[in-house]
Chain A
Amino acid sequence: MFRILKKSLKTGVVTGQHPAAAPLEETSTSEAKEKARPFRSSLAFRAVDTGSCNACEMEMNALANPVYDIERFGIHIAASPRHADALVVTGPVTVNMEHALKDVYQQTPDPKIVIALGDCAINCGVFKGSYAVTGPVDRHIPVDVRIPGCPPRPVNILNALQELRKGSDKG
């Protein structure tokens, strides 16, 4: 017990100890922001991997570590699509995952936001053209937010989510 306390005290607060993000282009349109209005104070997202190389997943997992601590912004990860406000989709949509993606989309209650995370989800990346790939994501379901990068850094994902929920200038 003493050891644990000592460790925690010694470590202190590490949240926010990361380099600032290089600014990305606009990731969400004003329509997307409008759609995200109900989720401004809390957003539950469900991760769907449609054939990513798993680096995008790792960066999403990093969002939960104490350095980024995404929950302090009221964002958390839902265990079922039925509890989700948003789907975060990674990967180029493989032939084998195509139906699963559509099913998940169906099962997520409206209104919902779809976030394409990483180059693969946006344009299939290095897997473009393959016989086993039917993406990108917006060929199958409507996409609201696009976060580019291979993979995008956690701080970029965080900023994109913040920007989405900040709302348009009208507030």
Chain B
Amino acid sequence: MTETRFYDEELKVAFPLIVQDEAAKGEFSHFLVPKDLLPAITHHLHTQPSLHGRLTLLWAVDNRPIRDAYGLHYLFTLGASRSWVVLSTELAEGDRLFPSITPHIHAAMWYEREIRDMFGLIPQGHPDLRRLVRHEHWPKGTHPLKKNFPWDHVLGRQQGEHHFRRIEGEGVFEVPVGPIHAGIIEPGHFRFSVAGEPIMQLELHHFWTHRGVEKLFEQQTLTAAVPLAERVSGDTTIGHSLAYCQAVESLLHIEVPRRGRYLRSLFLELERLHNHLGDVGAICNDTAYALPHAHCGRMKEQIMQLNDKLTGSRFLRGVNRVGGVEIDLTVAQLAEVVAEMDHIEKDFSELELIIIHNASLTDRLETTGVLTERTAWDHAVVGVVGRASGLDQDLRRDRPFAAYDELPVKVVNYRYGDVRARIRVRMDEIHESMRLVREIRLKLPQGPVAVEPSRRAQAREWALSAVEGWRGEILYMVMAGENGTIHRCKVRDPSFANWPAIQQAVLGNIIPDFPLINKSFNLSYAGNDL
């Protein structure tokens, strides 16, 4: 807390024109900033060694129904203390321009393009103003998150073509891949430029699965939107629903009972386990080493069957609710979970030895798809990928939620940033999650698992929430509307932060290694495209 104060003072001294919003809850410091100052102050936050701020989220809100203005908000996570600073500015009275911060904060690139597509606000000075979410066939001047855009109206199509960045020269050719892929993967387009074998450039063209999730949230009420949050990225059902519920709970001033918080941690770890197990196998499989894939597929299946037995859903759907969890576990069930953990951990440890001692596998994984710490930091990469590139960050330790304030997590960290580091992070986290599950069983307090909301949310109040899902940081910003509706819900899956970084990690590798690198990132398309 004291450290937050120190940052606050420093900022106010450096930029006397900014105003601190004292009403902000203890979770973050909030400043109101004139828009012209944005580039300077964000640059200061990002580069000042004592601050070392990472752009964590950038979102816009259409406030026009109430007053004639758009709101823009920048969330930074500061250096060692991991405290949050939010900068807010307003574009009033028909002003549609705001200064781009992308020229010196690379991580803002996609956020600003997204805001331009969804709100029609223009980041001045942005180096790349091509469309991002709305593909070129969307009619001009249609911006779905503006309040006067009807949520249920499908637009006609216009002519248009996406222009990829071109590399010209002798022997350079382009390889287009997607949107529909050979295996069972989600749709996305990758455009490679190669000269001979090595990749010189990769450009992503995503957002094929854009379903209008954020607009759909605005049609729901605060307490009823949990099923939608569960379906933002299906493999992260608990992560997303938990982040959403926490945001709403802080709007409704709900304190979730301790047992409920412990169970949330338990389910979050189960979700991490089945996904990590699947990924370890799938990475091996992409080097044509099918044996670990079969074993991992079997263990993953065991956990999903366990999920099904405990909750009636293999993906743990319907577990989270606003106020706590729907499902309580009996002593016998908990014992079964732990027995299953012991069993799988032994099984997995044996497999791990097989994987680690396979020299030809190691040869494929080492130095493949290197994402350096510097590039990872510049792209504000999060989660597993970040921890494999030396970024020591994990919300379970840094900003504890659910029961993690009472469950210390040992954060895994590797420095090399190659595929091998990313598989090792997952392997270590599998053991850590199993340990956590055991600890949860020992510490699980008695009591209720949920409370009913008793208060109403104040219209226009907003709350932020962050959860370390199995992929990385999941962020939600929920702003209440009138009578328990949702005015705006900003969803940020870790994939959105990590996708651009893959364009760097593949450089100099050969195309046949791309599926392997992509698998080691294993990012969601659905969660990215919304």
Contact = CB atoms under 8 A, between A and B. Distances in A.
B207 interface: yes
A66 B301 CA distance: 9
A95 interface: yes
Contacts of A14: 298
B233 A54 contact: yes
Contact of A129 (B138, B152, B183, B351): B152
Contact of A126 (B135, B180, B228, B298): B228
B468 interface: no
Given A4-B354, A97-B208, A56 B216 contact: no
Given A54-B233, A55-B315, A94 B186 contact: no
Contacts of A66: 294, 297-298
A100 B444 CA distance: 50
Nearest to A134: B154
Given A58-B235, A131-B151, A134-B154, A64 B210 contact: no
A105 to B, nearest CB: 11
Contact of A67 (B138, B209, B233, B297): B297
Contacts of B410: none
Interface residues of A, number: 51
Nearest to A57: B184
Contacts of A130: 151-152, 211-212, 215-216
A106 interface: no
B27 interface: no
Contact of B526 (A53, A79, A81, A134): A53
A61 B234 CA distance: 14
A65 B184 CA distance: 13
Contacts of B153: 131
Contacts of B138: 95
B144 interface: yes
A47 B184 contact: yes
B155 A126 contact: no
A65 B208 contact: no
Contacts of B317: 150
B46 interface: no
A65 B298 contact: yes
Given A47-B184, A52-B526, A126-B216, A132 B211 contact: yes
A47 B179 CA distance: 12
* Chain B interface bracket (under 10, 10 to 19, 20 to 34, 35 or more): 35 or more
Contacts of B4: none
A130 B308 CA distance: 30
B179 A100 contact: yes
A52 B151 contact: no
Interface in A1-47: 3-4, 7, 11, 14, 18-19, 47
Interface core residue of A7, A60, A80, A132 (most chain B CB under 10 Å): A132
Given A131-B215, A132-B144, A62 B235 contact: no
Nearest to B189: A100
Interface string B406-439: 0000000000000000000000000000000000
B180 A48 contact: yes
Given A11-B295, A65-B300, A131-B155, A60 B184 contact: yes
Contact of A18 (B149, B152, B183, B301): B301
Contact of B187 (A49, A95, A133): A49
B135 A57 contact: no
Interface in B317-368: 317, 347, 350-351, 353-354, 357
Contacts of B232: 53
B304 interface: yes
B231 interface: yes
Given A57-B185, A130-B216, A96 B207 contact: yes
Contacts of B231: 53, 55, 125-127, 150
Contacts of B357: 3
B257 interface: no
A127 B207 CA distance: 16
B63 interface: no
Interface in A88-127: 91-92, 94-97, 100, 104, 125-127
B233 A51 contact: no
Contacts of A55: 231, 234-235, 237, 315
A4 B212 contact: no
Interface string B220-260: 00000001100111110100000000000000000000000
A79 B234 contact: no
A153 interface: yes
A56 B250 CA distance: 32
B444 to A, nearest CB: 26
Contacts of B150: 131
B305 A18 contact: yes
B301 A61 contact: no
Given A3-B353, A50-B209, A130-B152, 19 more contacts: A4-B354, A18-B305, A47-B183, A51-B211, A52-B186, A53-B231, A53-B232, A57-B186, A59-B314, A65-B294, A66-B297, A96-B207, A97-B187, A97-B209, A126-B231, A127-B212, A130-B216, A131-B212, A133-B154
30 contacts: A3-B353, A3-B357, A7-B295, A49-B180, A49-B184, A50-B187, A51-B526, A52-B234, A53-B231, A53-B526, A55-B234, A55-B315, A56-B234, A58-B234, A62-B297, A64-B297, A65-B301, A67-B297, A91-B209, A94-B208, A95-B155, A97-B179, A100-B187, A104-B180, A126-B216, A131-B144, A131-B154, A132-B210, A133-B212, A150-B231
Interface of A: 3-4, 7, 11, 14, 18-19, 47-62, 64-67, 77, 79-81, 91-92, 94-97, 100, 104, 125-127, 129-134, 150-151, 153
List the 5 closest pairs (A to B, CB-CB), nearest first: A55-B234, A65-B297, A53-B234, A132-B212, A79-B182
